[in-house]
Amino acid sequence: MGKHAFLSASASHRWLECPPSAKLCSEQEDRASPYAQQGTDCHELCAYLVEKSLGRDVEDPAENLPTTIRKCRTARKATGIM
């Protein structure tokens, strides 16, 4: 997983109230959780869907994603959403 954003939306509740906390947190080691990885995988799949709907030639990321994400993709494909 890549480096977390300096002013991440998920931490905006903290850095909006205490701006120096952003710098302090940026000096801490990123610790990934299974939930963070699942969110990253979902973002990757959604980015693919947007690019594909715009008619761009993009590679389907499903083969590299966990089983849960592939199942969601398969279900969406079966309903004609994809």
pLDDT > 60? residue 74: yes
Domain count, the chain: 1
**Could you tell me if residue 23 is inside a domain?**
yes
Q: What is the pTM of this model?
A: 0.52
pLDDT in tens, 46-67: 888 899 899 999 988 877 777 6
Q: Do the domain assignments include residue 62?
A: yes
At 5-39, the pLDDT tens digits run 788 888 889 989 999 999 998 888 877 788 888 88
Residue 51's pLDDT is 93
Q: Can you tell me the distance from the alpha carbon of 69 to that of 75, in angstroms, rounded to the nearest whole number?
A: 10
The answer as to whether 42 is a domain residue is yes
Interacting residues of 79 by C-beta distance below 8 A, sequence separation 6+: none
Q: Does residue 5 belong to any structural domain of this protein?
A: no
Residue owning tokens 């120096």? 20
Task: Please check whether residue 6 lies inside any domain of the structure.
Answer: no
